[in-house]
Amino acid sequence: MADKVDIPAEPRRAPPSRHDRPRRMKRMIVGIGVDVVDIERFGRQLERTPGLRDRLFVPAERELNTRSLAARFAAKEAVAKVLGAPAGMNWQDCWIGLDHNGPTVQVKGTVLAVAEAKGVKRWHLSISHDGGIATATVLAEG
């Protein structure tokens, strides 16, 4: 009769600790802002108030049609709402750009400082105009 050989069992491994797992990027919504603008009323305000166009919009935006300006203003207002409408916000420090994915929120200066203090890492923007109304929704992600 052959001798029995004891083969040791595979050692049991402890489940990986949270320190061994790959880190996932934690994301959170910092804020959501929504605004609507009556395009005709906004156009009248631009005509009535000299300098308003220059105060609200960066040079690249100023030559756009009234519908597009109203939508961009709604987006800027939505950004301000996300940030809690900070005192001293300079409208020139927030503008709406375009890239291959569509409109983008761009910030610098006063707006960037508040966004960084609130932990904003990324902006999401949807803008539209139809039926005499311009609308924008902004989501800030941290």
pLDDT digits (tens, 9 = 90+) for 1-44: 556 656 656 666 666 655 665 666 677 999 999 999 999 999 99
Read off the pTM.
0.80
Name every residue whose Cβ is closer than 8 Å to that of residue 9 and which is 6 or more positions away in sequence: none
Handedness of CA 139, 65, 85, 58 (dihedral sign): positive
Nearest residue to 115 (alpha-carbon basis) of 84, 74, 75: 84
Average pLDDT over residues 62-69: 96
Name the residue with higher pLDDT: 23 or 85.
Answer: 85
Q: Report all structural domains of the chain as residue ranges with CATH numbers, in order of start.
A: 29-141 (3.90.470.20)
